[in-house]
Structure 1
Amino acid sequence: MRTLYENMVVEWKLSDSEDRYIERIVWISPSDDLLFSIAMGDDKAFPIMKTSSEFVAGFESNLCKPVEWINESIPLLDSDIDSEHLDIRNKSWDAIKHIVLDEPGCFDKAFRGSRVRETQERMGLHKTTIYRYLRRYWQGGKMKNALLPHYNNCGSYGNDRTPKETKRGRPRKFEDEPVGINIDEEIKQLLRSGIRLFYNNKDKAPLKHAYQKTLEKFFASGFRKEGDALIPVLPPSDKLPTFGQYKYWFNKEMDLENTLKSRHGKKRFALDYRPILGSSTYESFGPGSRFQIDATVADVYLVSEYRREWIIGRPIIYIVIDVFSRYIAGIYIGLEGPSWIGAMMALANTTTDKVEFCAQYDIDIEPEDWVSSHLPQKLTADRGELEGSRPSQLIDVLGVDVENAPPYRADWKGIVEQQFRLINLRSVQFIPGAIKERYRERGERDYRLDAKLTLREFTQIMIHNILYHNNNHHMLWYDRNEFMVADEITPIPRELWHWGIVNRNGRLKKQPEHIVKLNLMLHGEATVTAAGIQFKGMHYGCELAMREQWFVKARAGKTWRVKVCYDPRSTNEIYLWLDDGHRFETCTLLEREERYLNKRVEEVEDLLEIERHQGRNQEVNNMLSKIELDAHTKAIVEMAAKKTNEAIQHSNESNNQRVKGTRQRRATEKLINREHEAFQLSEQASLPNSSANNVIPLKRDETAEKRTAYIPPADKLSKIKSYLLEDGDDE
């Protein structure tokens, strides 16, 4: 048996036709045997009495059925109603409330008539008006808002009227006010074209400017020339659409999404105007499902650790955060980046033991204060740091799926972006040296001069911030699911993390810290040579190479290449890539490469490039000097050849004679050269008539003197000279 209730709308099927009769039940007696109903859609209907059994029988025989009746002309919220309409509604309610509140007396014709007459005398309304109010109240479901004026029934609401000769729209208040024209389909198309050309573009012109340009392009009858300018000639104002009409059709037909994309671009629309219907939390199943990583330049200036009077600029903050729990899993505070090196440091920190990490900064924590030392299943990052071949090891070896956000879509990393804002609000803005305003007023103190903290001290503050966030930050806006609510989980990152570990396990990944760091380093290839393992112009050695005699093999045979990884911040060590990244061998810089010690790889590459550049420049100088050398050599050779050829012509010796006398002539030449080449340290020795040339005879053994007569060198030279002179005379 179907239950009857007040305001129920019932549709009856008439047996002799296809017509429907629809009525609303407005009152049911306490005993449920009698009721009053009123016909819907009848402008002269009044409530009539019926029995409940009549409806029950109709339902059982399928002669009637309940229907859902929605009166779209009755608003449900007073906030959406114009104040003038509310006044009309309240006046209508005052006229009938004393009648309708007296149920079931108001349904009696005689009683109702007497009350209507009283209302006429009290309010001065016509009885037809009062009956209309009553009928609308009962047919509208006994709702007060059913008495609102039905202005939507006036005219042809929502439909464009066919233009005629009479001007449509409101009458003008002033005679000289522009009247405008009736907008037909042709004019409407011109207005659409004007909006598309002059408003929906990257110039972002105001609507008034677009209206002006539309009139100039589509409504000008010609041009008149004034000097070099062509000025559009427009018809009188009563032949042109007004700005009000232009604005009306713009608002009526505007595609807001298309307009925003045309004026701001698709990227800006996606960032600032797209609908926000989803939630980042739903993108992750549990802890470790997805981490977000991003960097920002902190709004504070720091001083040097070694000389506090030096201002070293603003640090870089990298944060890695779990999307599901908002738990911060890793950080990097330093001067690297935003770059792959900074991202590498932050990712390595996610797997670091946080007790040891905090101890490096003199902060003692318990293991449960910062428990994360894992890698995620997915990592969402910017296109810059984690794009290209560098993060391939994250995917291939460590099993982390890297997702790069599209350009200009910081909203894809909204969680970590929000964390930067919170850190700034909590602490950074109150630190000495913080940037208060982006632009300083003239004469205002330079906030950079207020810098007091070193990088280490700023990192300590950031660690305390993260410990507060992970363990105490109550996120009132966090959407807990029904299971979290049932388990009474407080929306604090630590509580959500632990709850997710228990109930949503299986997403976090654990790898040894040194393996993670090894795979995060930059990769390259080195060459095994006899001089060492050559990498970027430097030479390294290791125990493995010495044990397996790599350098001997390279010298005996030929060189070969090996995979290495390296930290570009230090040249002291590189690491041989063994067993597909599961094992490594440390290679240290050879002693002879001392000039590269404690340098950055970029610095060494710059040095070698400078040396190569200098070498290329020196090659030109060498060539020019060699050309000059060859010129001098050629001149001397030509002169010597000329003299020698002349001497040979004057000589009667044959070629055989010239060759045979070589040894004797060499000895003669040697004796002559010795006279000039001998060391003579006394000043008088260089004088031509000096007695220093005389040899002081020593005491001799007479027996030896008898055996060999001593000939002084000077006498020997004299004899050689006279021999040469005689030889020349003979020639």
Structure 2
Amino acid sequence: MGIELKVGAEYLHKGATVSLVAEADGIAMVQLKDSSHVLPAMVSELSPVPTANEKLHSSMAIKVTDWERAASLATAIQQGLKDEAGLGDLVKSIAADFEVSTRQAARYIAKYRENAGPMALLPQKPGPKVGTRNMAVEMELIIAKNIESDYLREEKPSFDHLYNCISVECRQAGLKPPCKNTIRRRLSTLASELKLRRREGSKRAKEKHGSAAGHAPADYPLQRVEIDHTLCDVILVADTPVREVLGRPWLTLAIDVFSRMVVGMYVSFERPSSASVAMCLANALLPKEAWLAANGVVGDWPCQGVMEEIMSDNAMEFRAMALRRGCEQMSVKLQHRPIGSPEMGASIERLIGTVMGRVHLLPGTTQRNTVEKGDYDAEKKAFMTLREFCTWLTEQIVSNYHLSLHKGINKPPIVAWNSHFGDSPPKFKGTQLEVLGAFLPAEQRVLRRVGVEFKGGNYWDDKFLKWVGDDHKVAVHYHPLDASVVYVRVPNGELVIAKCFSRTPRDGLAFADVRRRGSQERASAKDPRIVQKKDESHARMKSLLEESAKRTDAARKTPPAPSAPVTMMSHEAAPRITKSRPARIAEGACA
């Protein structure tokens, strides 16, 4: 509750006034007012005693006769106190006029002095006050301790587990275990927010009990754009004759907060990254005519132009260097919403929910969870490719979502957009190449004689000739879905489109397809028959080397056989060997 606890001070606990005896580890020992009973209570259950002005009662819950009697009684006591009559005479007068005993009349006067007004004189229900506990202090401590240690945990222990722990500890202490309803009543007094926070986490507690009033408004289109990713609840297949199952795609969406128009989208099987954000923002900035034509969609999608602010969550891809530099280049403010505050991105979260609701109608949908999916075989029912899904999604956005009434703005998004701009819609003044160079992911490479070596391929343009041989490091921007070209920032700052000239063409392939194709080609080297032949050859060469080594070692260890003796001749018998000298070459003669 955030109150300052002081021993001996009075607090309100479940409707009863109590005084604090001791407090430790979130558990307080309190004593009921006008009673000797001491019982444990959670600190979160204590609240300050309300003042006279704070004691508000619902007038609809009070009977008319009770209210009139209390008002008359208050008036009589007030008048008696003003007349400075003796207290004994006033007690007798009140007892006679309202037909109560003198003891009860004295209680009325005491209550009025403590809290002047008819509220204090209303009849009270008979019986013990709400929150009164008559159980032994030792048992109350056991119950409170086990609730704290064996129930309020993230493992979410069951009620039976809690009751078993309490029963065992009570028997060990020589006490009779309480009944289950007693434990249930103790649990019912716990604050719902406390139980949810301790058993399911602070995030879940905030979602249910926290305020969701925060939001990030916008006063005009393109003032603020929200962006986020989601894993689509549908399975897609490959665009091949076999149509093998590929899995669920990732969708990146950007929405204009003011008009609720979808300004950009991107679909891919790759996990969210800076490339996903770059492609979505490139789609948001550029005109959509080429996109609509490529997907065969007939409709009006007027969104284009540079936004003032981009708001996202705190994921790593939204903090990438490429995105920050791209936003700085385009003079766009990059804003991250506070951690744990999804309500600050309410527009994009609602859009994702709306889109996924329509995705759940497609064959191959996985639904939101396994319970809703049931026995539905999503992989068997799936038949859409990534390109077909992208076309379907574009059609849904342009011809359905933009033209439907949006409850948040009480009009269709396309109407909100057009009514603001009228006959002067925004126009993006840059080129597509500039956008791609600003937001596409990039990697450093060295410019060589073969051009740029990038992801297993060589890319070249004649403009590289000026810098060939100097080993310049250049930034290579790439489109994840187009491996046929890359965008190279040459040393003079110009962005050059370099085409791939590798032995295997990459036209119409994404880098993921190139990587997959390379893996398939390399897989041929793992053919069991080829591997077996290599192993056999290796064994033969190893045997050859071992035999050769053995023969050489044996030859070196065995001494050579003795040769025939050589007869030595005497010095006199030996023939005289004369050496002939070459003729002297005359001086100056040519060799």
TM-score by length of 1: 0.51
1:308-327 deviations in whole A, cap 9, x for unaligned?
A: 97665544433211233322
> CA distance change for structure 1 residues 326 and 465 in 2, over 3 Å: closer, same or farther?
same
> Residue 214 in 1 paired to residue 166 in 2?
yes
Match of 1:257 in 2: 193
> Residue 200 in 1 paired to residue 152 in 2?
yes
Match of 1:323 in 2: 257
1:639-667 deviations in whole A, cap 9, x for unaligned?
A: 89x99999999899xxxx9xxxxxxxxxx
Contact 2:477 2:486 (8 Å CA) reproduced:
yes
| Alpha-carbon distance between aligned partners in 1 of 2:458 and 2:505, rounded to the nearest angstrom | 10
How much does 1:410 deviate? 5.5
Match of 2:437 in 1: 518
| Alpha-carbon distance between aligned partners in 2 of 1:277 and 1:623, rounded to the nearest angstrom | 72
Match runs of 1:694-709 below 5 Å: none
Contact 2:299 2:398 (8 Å CA) reproduced:
no
Match of 1:686 in 2: none
Secondary structure of the 1:391 match is: helix
Contact 1:379 1:400 (8 Å CA) reproduced:
no
| Alpha-carbon distance between aligned partners in 2 of 1:204 and 1:356, rounded to the nearest angstrom | 54
Match runs of 1:574-653 below 5 Å: 574-578=486-490, 583-590=494-501, 593-595=502-504, 597-598=506-507, 601=511, 625=541, 632=548
Contact 1:355 1:364 (8 Å CA) reproduced:
no
Contact 1:202 1:264 (8 Å CA) reproduced:
yes
> CA distance change for structure 1 residues 183 and 127 in 2, over 3 Å: closer, same or farther?
same
How much does 1:386 deviate? 3.0
Match runs of 1:277-288 below 5 Å: 277-282=212-217, 284-288=218-222
| Alpha-carbon distance between aligned partners in 2 of 1:212 and 1:205, rounded to the nearest angstrom | 11
Match of 2:447 in 1: 528
How much does 1:350 deviate? 0.5
Match runs of 1:296-311 below 5 Å: 296-302=230-236, 307=241
How much does 1:419 deviate? 1.8
Q: CA RMSD in A?
A: 5.5
| Alpha-carbon distance between aligned partners in 1 of 2:360 and 2:456, rounded to the nearest angstrom | 46
How much does 1:437 deviate? 8.2
Counterpart among 345, 349, 353 of residue 417 in structure 1: 349
> CA distance change for structure 1 residues 75 and 638 in 2, over 3 Å: closer, same or farther?
closer
Amino acid at match of 2:221: P
> Residue 75 in 1 paired to residue 47 in 2?
no
Secondary structure of the 2:488 match is: strand
1:539-580 deviations in whole A, cap 9, x for unaligned?
A: 33322222x1x33x35xxxx3422222234444332222479
Secondary structure of the 1:472 match is: coil
1:675-705 deviations in whole A, cap 9, x for unaligned?
A: xxxxxxxxxxxxxxxxxxxxxxxxxxxxxxx
Secondary structure of the 1:280 match is: coil
More helix by share: 1
> CA distance change for structure 1 residues 493 and 636 in 2, over 3 Å: closer, same or farther?
same
> CA distance change for structure 1 residues 388 and 533 in 2, over 3 Å: closer, same or farther?
closer
| Alpha-carbon distance between aligned partners in 2 of 1:286 and 1:650, rounded to the nearest angstrom | 117
Choose 623-632 or 331-340, whichever is displaced more: 623-632
Identical aligned pairs, as a percentage?
17
Structure 2 portions without partners, runs of 5+ = 1-51, 73-95, 100-117, 569-576, 578-591
Amino acid at match of 1:201: R
Match of 1:112 in 2: none
| Alpha-carbon distance between aligned partners in 1 of 2:254 and 2:370, rounded to the nearest angstrom | 30
Match of 1:473 in 2: 404
Secondary structure of the 1:192 match is: helix
Amino acid at match of 1:150: L
Match of 2:589 in 1: none
> CA distance change for structure 1 residues 608 and 561 in 2, over 3 Å: closer, same or farther?
farther
Counterpart among 257, 275, 299 of residue 210 in structure 2: 275
| Alpha-carbon distance between aligned partners in 1 of 2:122 and 2:408, rounded to the nearest angstrom | 42
Amino acid at match of 2:151: Y
> CA distance change for structure 1 residues 457 and 383 in 2, over 3 Å: closer, same or farther?
same
Amino acid at match of 1:323: V
Secondary structure of the 2:477 match is: strand
Match of 2:464 in 1: 545
Amino acid at match of 1:372: Q
Match runs of 1:164-563 below 5 Å: 181-184=134-137, 188-207=140-159, 209-217=161-169, 219-221=170-172, 234-235=174-175, 237=176, 243-252=180-189, 254-270=190-206, 272-282=207-217, 284-302=218-236, 307=241, 313-366=247-300, 369-381=301-313, 383=315, 385-403=317-335, 413-425=345-357, 427-435=358-366, 439=370, 446=377, 448-451=379-382, 453-468=384-399, 471-478=402-409, 491-497=411-417, 511-536=430-455, 538-546=457-465, 548=466, 550-551=467-468, 553-554=469-470, 559-563=471-475
Amino acid at match of 1:214: I
Contact 1:292 1:381 (8 Å CA) reproduced:
no
How much does 1:468 deviate? 4.6
Amino acid at match of 1:200: L
> CA distance change for structure 1 residues 245 and 429 in 2, over 3 Å: closer, same or farther?
closer
Contact 2:475 2:489 (8 Å CA) reproduced:
yes
Choose 328-337 or 529-538, whichever is displaced more: 529-538
Match of 1:114 in 2: none
TM-score by length of 2: 0.61
Amino acid at match of 1:522: P
> CA distance change for structure 1 residues 398 and 73 in 2, over 3 Å: closer, same or farther?
closer
1:579-634 deviations in whole A, cap 9, x for unaligned?
A: 79x630122334xx3136456556767859998xx99x999x99995995697499
Secondary structure of the 1:372 match is: coil
Contact 1:531 1:539 (8 Å CA) reproduced:
yes
Secondary structure of the 2:504 match is: helix
Amino acid at match of 2:494: R
| Alpha-carbon distance between aligned partners in 2 of 1:307 and 1:470, rounded to the nearest angstrom | 33
1:366-391 deviations in whole A, cap 9, x for unaligned?
A: 4xx53334345123046254354453
Secondary structure of the 2:303 match is: coil
Secondary structure of the 1:213 match is: helix
| Alpha-carbon distance between aligned partners in 1 of 2:543 and 2:567, rounded to the nearest angstrom | 36
Contact 2:451 2:461 (8 Å CA) reproduced:
no
How much does 1:151 deviate? 4.8
| Alpha-carbon distance between aligned partners in 2 of 1:363 and 1:206, rounded to the nearest angstrom | 55
Q: Pick 1 or 2: higher relative contact order, CA cutoff 8 A, min separation 6.
A: 2
> CA distance change for structure 1 residues 221 and 248 in 2, over 3 Å: closer, same or farther?
same
| Alpha-carbon distance between aligned partners in 2 of 1:510 and 1:261, rounded to the nearest angstrom | 51
* Matched residue count: 467
Secondary structure of the 1:386 match is: helix
1:191-243 deviations in whole A, cap 9, x for unaligned?
A: 432221112111212445424423433x3446xxxxxxxxxxx42x3xx5555
Secondary structure of the 2:318 match is: coil
Contact 1:316 1:334 (8 Å CA) reproduced:
yes
